[in-house]
Amino acid sequence: MGEIYCFLLRRDLGPDVPDVVWPLGVEISTYRPELAGAVHDLMQLGHREGGGRVPALEVWQQRFECDPEYDPALCFIAIDAEGVVGVAQCWTSSYIKSLVVHPRAQGLGLGRALLLNAFKVFQQRREGFVDLKVLEDNLRAQRLYESAGMYVVRRELVPDL
C-alpha cells in the first residue's frame, strides 16, 4: 500500500461566516451518551466511504468521552425522522475532528450546515480560525470545505492507521 496524504485546511473566523440553513426536517442537538450507538454507526458508515477507521463502540466512546479536548457542546448531531443523519465532532482546540453525513441526507446541504454551525460556535468562543484534515483523495469533502471558505495550510503524510 502506498503512502496516504491529507490536507490540513483552515477557515479564518472573521465576521463573514454565512448564516446556517438547516435542511427541512432536520433538528440539531449536541452529543449525549445515549446517542453514542447511533453516532458510532454513522461514523463507521462515513469512514467506509471517506477513508479511515473507527474502533469498536466501547473503545470509541471511551476514547471520545475521555479525550482532554472533548466537550459534548462541540459535538453537533443532526437528527431527522429516521434518526442520526449527521455528525460534526469538534475539539476544544478549534478543530473539526470528523464531519459525516448519512448517504440518505447527502446533497441536501446538511454537511455545509454542520460545517457553518461549527464555524459559528467557534466564532462565538472568540477563536480566530478553525482547522480540519481531509484525505487528499476525498475530493467531494474538499469541494465542500473550500466552498465554505477553507484553504490548504499544508499537505501531510498520514501515519499508518
Composition of the chain by helix, strand, coil, percent to 5 = 35, 30, 35
CB 112 within 8 A of CB 119: no
Give the count of beta carbons closer than 10 Å to the beta carbon of residue 1: 4
User: pTM of the full predicted structure?
Assistant: 0.91
Under DSSP, the state recorded for 131 is: E
Question: Per residue in 92-151, pLDDT tens?
Answer: 999 999 999 999 999 999 999 999 999 999 999 999 999 999 999 889 999 999 999 999
Q: What digits encode the pLDDT tens for the residues 83-103?
A: 999 999 999 999 999 999 999
C-alpha span between 80 and 105 (Å, rounded): 9
